[in-house]
Structure 1
Amino acid sequence: MDLQLRHLTAFVTLCEEGTYTRAAARLHITQPSLTRTIQDLERVLECDLVARPARKLELTANGELFLQRSRGILTEVNELQAEMRTRSQVRVGFAWLLPSDWFAATRARYEELGGQITMHRNDNPAAALHQGTIDIAVARNFTQPTAAITWRRIGTEQRVLAVSARSDLAHAAGLRWADLAHHPLVVNTQSGTTTPDCWPDPDPDREIVTCGNFDEWIELIAADRGIGAVPAIAEHRAPHPDVVYRELPDIPDSPLYLGWRRTPPPPRSVRRFLDAALATTDSAR
């Protein structure tokens, strides 16, 4: 048997509590189990640490030295564990165009704590979260909630209309969202924000053109296959020479969600990220 951290922990706890009974209770083990651990430790070290017989706990000279060194080792191990946990990488998944201000503030908060973030682009971050390939999902939509995943609405984003530069809608005066309820609609089924239900009375006969990611979506808009709508950040961060983005007075905002696994329980690094992310959300309100 080799010397193990459990030996050091048991011995230091015994010395701090002064009796086997109190030390065993603090360690959540039985008194005979603690006694065996101390005896095993002495066999590993090939020396006595506890004086026998004695009416109260007394240490030998070797025991005093071992106690001093053990405390230092346990302190260093605990500090190392805490430091490495703060440096654990959190995998953040997103489909396209992270919300700039919110994410920048969240990243700064988390990195100030010593944490690290890795970014993972995925057409369906909700599915990636279920599969365990990411720790956090930033999503603008998701399928039906499940018991294994927690979704938290962290805000909304202003939305803009997207149309082909060749469309008459690109420069039509007085255009409103309500006027567009019957136009062909391009829907990104994986990560899009706009469906027919975004209009009060969806047209059952409306032409719907579907795609699976943002790149396909914007090319379909450019080809004038239909209209669409996206968060306003796309206007500056995803310009396209054949797409015109327009603000409309009655266009609804789109929600933004943060998702994480409830089961198994998230590790400490993910909980620290969530604290930073939700603090950023609360301070923005």
Structure 2
Amino acid sequence: MELRHLVSFLALAEELHFGRAAARLHVTQPSLSQQLQRLERSVGVELVSRTSHAVRLTPAGRAFETEARVVVAGAGKAVRAARAAADGRAGTVRVGYNFPAARHVLSPTLARMHAEFPEVVVEPRERRTGPQLAALAAGDLDVVLGYGRPVTGNFRSRALVRLPMVAVVGREHPWAGRERVPFAELAGQPCVLFDRARSPAMHDAITSAARRAGIRLDVAQLTDDPVATAILLSVRPLVGFASATRVAAGQDVVPVPLSDPSPAVEVCAVWRAEEDPVRDAFLSCLEVVS
């Protein structure tokens, strides 16, 4: 059974006249009759009763007409969906993001997507940068909004916003009242550092700053949980780190700006190098944040 035979049958069902139906389909009457015969052989029953005076649907033909319309409409919908996806106008894009990306990038991007590509569904998934990149490589995410640029040639990236990093201490720590601390003063200070597997860009930003300052960090503990870090800092004389966006002065911890050097991280969009029009529609709505 071919789709064109269903289309021809529906035209005949509406016109109930071989000549008019053939003209509407831009085929000859003999061709239309052959298509109907092939369709009836495929179905196994007579669908159209024709005499020299009239053309009408049989009871089987009327029942077949209802379902044939559903099939033809579904085929048309499938074609439109495929063309929209090929043009980047419909489909789903899975986007991983971290806290700073949500604060600076994701909301305005989603608003622009809704206005310019209303048929595209965006699935946001909050994760740390390391797990985001692993999911991107595995094909479970289409775009990563996280810290840093990966070095693999399989990915493409774009920097979106640059964020300074600060030291974070408990309210009883000697640094809690200082406006700024030179990075070299971290020498000998026990600190809590990011787990590189989960936050490689932040880990590297701090260790690179330590090298430039000519010091070696005294890493007392590795963690990647901001809540756990805040608890540790509130009860022990440790120094933690965070992006300036992530931490604010609160009940238990205090941010302290660092200088000479001042470490920073970039929030970047990262995606696979392969072609994907729907993902590219999302990327077109991203803007670099100053």
TM-score by length of 1: 0.63
Looking at structure 1, the residues matched to 239 and 37 of structure 2 have their Cα atoms a distance apart, in angstroms, of 78
Q: Is the 8 A contact 2:180 2:257 kept in 1?
A: no
Looking at structure 2, the residues matched to 149 and 43 of structure 1 have their Cα atoms a distance apart, in angstroms, of 55
- What is the match of residue 224 of structure 1? 236
Shift of 1:230: 1.9
Aligned residues: 223
Q: What is the identity percentage for the equivalent residue pairs of Structure 1 and Structure 2?
A: 17
Q: Pick the aligned partner of 1:120 from 121, 125, 129.
A: 125
Q: Find the residue that maps to 2:193 and give its secondary structure.
A: strand
Looking at structure 1, the residues matched to 166 and 155 of structure 2 have their Cα atoms a distance apart, in angstroms, of 30
Q: Pick the aligned partner of 1:268 from 253, 277, 290.
A: 277
Q: Is the 8 A contact 2:170 2:233 kept in 1?
A: yes
Q: Is the 8 A contact 1:88 1:269 kept in 2?
A: yes
- What is the match of residue 160 of structure 2? 154
Q: Read off the aligned partner of 1:105 and give its amino acid letter.
A: P
Shift of 1:83: 5.0
Q: Rate the CA distance shift 1:81–1:162 in 2: closer, same or farther, 3 A.
A: same
Matches within 5 A, 1:93-242: 93-112=96-115, 113-114=117-118, 115-123=120-128, 124-141=131-148, 145-172=151-178, 175-189=181-195, 190-191=198-199, 193-194=202-203, 195-199=206-210, 200-204=212-216, 206-224=218-236, 226-236=238-248, 240-242=250-252
Looking at structure 1, the residues matched to 217 and 103 of structure 2 have their Cα atoms a distance apart, in angstroms, of 37
Shift of 1:87: 4.0
Q: Which structure 1 segments of 5+ residues have no match?
A: 9-39, 47-71
Q: Find the residue that maps to 2:181 and give its secondary structure.
A: coil
Looking at structure 1, the residues matched to 276 and 177 of structure 2 have their Cα atoms a distance apart, in angstroms, of 51
Q: Rate the CA distance shift 1:204–1:148 in 2: closer, same or farther, 3 A.
A: same
Give the root-mean-square deviation of aligned CA atoms: 3.7
Looking at structure 1, the residues matched to 35 and 155 of structure 2 have their Cα atoms a distance apart, in angstroms, of 45
Q: Is the 8 A contact 2:194 2:224 kept in 1?
A: yes
Q: Rate the CA distance shift 1:131–1:41 in 2: closer, same or farther, 3 A.
A: farther
**CA distances 1:233-278 after superposition (whole Å, capped 9, x unpaired):** 2235xx652111133455232222211122xx2432111111112x
**CA distances 1:72-125 after superposition (whole Å, capped 9, x unpaired):** 999765544455663423211124342523222222222211123222122321
Q: Which structure 2 segments of 5+ residues have no match?
A: 8-33, 41-72
Q: Rate the CA distance shift 1:249–1:226 in 2: closer, same or farther, 3 A.
A: same
Q: Is the 8 A contact 2:192 2:240 kept in 1?
A: yes
Comparing both structures, which one devotes a greater share of its residues to strand? 2
Shift of 1:170: 0.6
- What is the match of residue 56 of structure 1? none
**CA distances 1:37-89 after superposition (whole Å, capped 9, x unpaired):** xxx9788558xxxxxxxxxxxxxxxxxxxxxxxxx999765544455663423
TM-score by length of 2: 0.62
